[in-house]
Chains A and B, each alone.
Chain A
Amino acid sequence: MTYCFYVWYIDRKICLDNDEMAVWRDYSKGRIGVAEFMRRAMSILRYKGVPRGRLYSVAMHILGLYEERRYTARLVIVDFDWTGRTEYCKRSGHHMVTECNVTGEFECIEDVFYKRENEIRDRLAESLWECYKMFLEEEYVFIRESSTSEGFSRFEITKHTEKEGITELSYSIHSASFYRANECGGAMRHLEYYDEKLTAYMDDAVSGFIYWLEVECGFHE
């Protein structure tokens, strides 16, 4: 995560990456002493072009802004459409075909997303799939699947934004629909009365994923 601080009296925005920010964080939490803090902080600020004579005051000013969470973080909003499908057609009388479509969005720290997009997408896919299986088992008497397919037809950044003092990442499920065919050749019908329950399951899945993402983004120390 990149943390950006506006230092009004030198009229500059100073951005620190996670490793640089750790110097202020460690001092704030008492993990390092003042001498080490000043030495490392001033070295970072000197490298970022803060003028001599201002290094000490800017380091302390950033410390104050950090502790009051008055920094901005660059975020991306990622939209996704996910489909999961299971099929069991081996024994007559036990036919079962199911499908679920989930659309939603989540926030992520911009630089974390760019560095780890594949891992983030795989993690979300795994969470949704595990949760869908759980939904089938718990709500539907799941029969062992003989064929499955799952995937994202959409997983893309739709917006870039900045937020001040961010402490958590938001997400939302836009829709979750459940379909079923009771016979292998039968029509896939949308069972609307399951949608609310499925939405709750998928909300849990994305919520767990978001917690993991927040840890990866440097929240929840």
Chain B
Amino acid sequence: MNRILVDIDYKYEDNDRMVKMVSDFAFKMYFVTDVLGVRFTGIKVYETSKGVHIYLDYESERPLTPLEIIIIQLALGSDYKRELYNLRRARAWLDGEELESNWNTLFRYKYRNGKLVSHETVTEFSRFFEEYVMNRYNSLLKGEEHEDSM
């Protein structure tokens, strides 16, 4: 399955900022589609202790390379540390080595020294995020909403 994984370490402070964050994310997806031709077909969002984990299904005429995936994830606002770790994994691939299937991953349950520090949860916010983002993304694609409204 083709998937883009985004780890956003940000907690909204009020409703306005939450809507802006979600709205911006949909526009970033649209921009990726517009510029690179990568079309997003599905979304799954989970809340974590620091922010959200976003799993995006996509279709692309040509397969994306690991570097392209990392850049798209960064463009969508993913945690820079995570993407730099991904880049470090991908460097071996750049040197001609095979890349493991799990090089790009999100922890559903994250631990520190064996103690649980964060886990993915479905919440009201994560459901809202999924619905709002896909609606806005699709209406941007159909041209129902003008880019200048951003």
Taking beta carbons and an 8 Å cutoff, which residues of A are in contact with B? 81, 83, 85, 97, 99, 101, 118, 121-122, 125-126, 129-130, 148-155, 177, 179, 181, 185-190
A selection of 23 A-B contacts at a CB cut-off of 8 Å is A83-B107, A85-B85, A99-B89, A122-B114, A122-B116, A126-B114, A126-B115, A129-B111, A129-B114, A130-B114, A149-B112, A150-B107, A150-B110, A151-B108, A151-B110, A151-B111, A152-B107, A152-B109, A153-B107, A153-B108, A186-B88, A187-B89, A188-B88
Is B88's CB under 8 angstroms from A181's CB? Answer: yes
Provide the main secondary structure of the chain A interface: strand
- From A99, A148, A152, A189, B108 is in contact (CB under 8 Å) with A152
Known A-B contacts A151-B108, A153-B102, A153-B106; the reply to A129 vs B113 at CB < 8 A is yes
Bound state CA distance, A13 and B57, in angstroms? 45
Residue in A121, A129, A153, A179 with the greatest tally of chain B CB atoms within 10 Å: A153
Residues of B within 8 A of A189 (CB): 92, 97
Is A97's CB under 8 angstroms from B102's CB? Answer: no
Is B100's CB under 8 angstroms from A125's CB? Answer: no
Is B116's CB under 8 angstroms from A154's CB? Answer: no
Bound state CA distance, A151 and B107, in angstroms? 5
- From A97, A101, A152, A186, B100 is in contact (CB under 8 Å) with A101
In the complex, the 4 A-B pairs of residues with the closest C-beta atoms, listed nearest first? A151-B107, A187-B91, A126-B114, A187-B92
Cross-chain pair count, CB within 8 angstroms = 76
Interface residues of B in 18-51 (CB under 8 A from A): none
**In whole Å, how far is A127's beta carbon from the nearest beta carbon of chain B?**
8
Is A187's CB under 8 angstroms from B109's CB? Answer: no
Chain A residue with the shortest CB-CB distance to B86: A188
Bound state CA distance, A101 and B99, in angstroms? 13
Chain A residue with the shortest CB-CB distance to B99: A190
Is A125's CB under 8 angstroms from B91's CB? Answer: no
- From A85, A101, A186, A190, B91 is in contact (CB under 8 Å) with A186
Q: Is B2 in the interface zone, CB < 8 Å from A? A: no
